């Protein structure tokens, strides 16, 4: 099944180069209200997923913040799996029973990005129902 409706898309500026379908967040206590950064850990409270690649600082970047968006799998996962940032390159991985993303250490607050809408293997682009929340 193909998932196309991504809900609300908001404009931001990139703090650096960011790939398509990557999780981003807004740094707390930043003076740049409209800037987003690539999420590199399940400790980042993800705002949403990017739609396209941006090349450099200050470039506009569209971010899907509600509904269904595309993400990149960093490990095999099943439909319905809760996914979190699984690596510093921004790929998404299934959440382990411990509350850690697979491959990540279980420390501090942890956040999920949402739920996988279909099964995916590492490297696949798959639909994610966005629903970020702190789980620990």
- For strand 9-14 and strand 35-38, is the pairing parallel, antiparallel, or unpaired? parallel
In this structure, what DSSP letter does residue 119 have?
-
Question: pTM above 0.85?
Answer: yes
Mean pLDDT of 110-121: 95
Q: Do 111 and 45 form a contact (C-beta atoms < 8 A)? A: yes
In this structure, what DSSP letter does residue 17 have?
-
Three-class HEC string of 50-67: ECCCECCCCCEEEEECCC
Task: Determine the Cα–Cα distance for residues 66 and 59; give it in Å rounded to an integer.
Answer: 22
Q: Summarize pLDDT for 29-64 with one digit per residue, the tens.
A: 666 678 999 999 989 999 999 999 998 888 999 999
């Amino acid at each position: 099944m193909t998932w196309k409706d991504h809900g609300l898309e908001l404009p931001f500026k990139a703090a650096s180069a960011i790939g398509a379908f990557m999780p981003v967040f807004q740094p707390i206590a930043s003076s740049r209200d409209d800037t987003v950064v690539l999420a590199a850990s399940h400790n980042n409270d993800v705002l949403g997923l990017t739609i396209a690649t941006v090349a450099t600082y200050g470039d506009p970047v569209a971010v899907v913040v509600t509904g269904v968006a595309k993400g990149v799998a960093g490990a095999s996962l099943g439909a319905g799996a809760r996914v979190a940032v699984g690596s510093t390159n921004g790929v998404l991985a299934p959440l382990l029973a411990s509350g850690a993303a697979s491959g990540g250490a279980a420390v501090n607050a942890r956040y999920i990005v949402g739920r996988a809408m279909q099964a995916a293997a590492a490297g696949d682009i798959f639909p994610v129902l966005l629903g970020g929340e702190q789980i620990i």
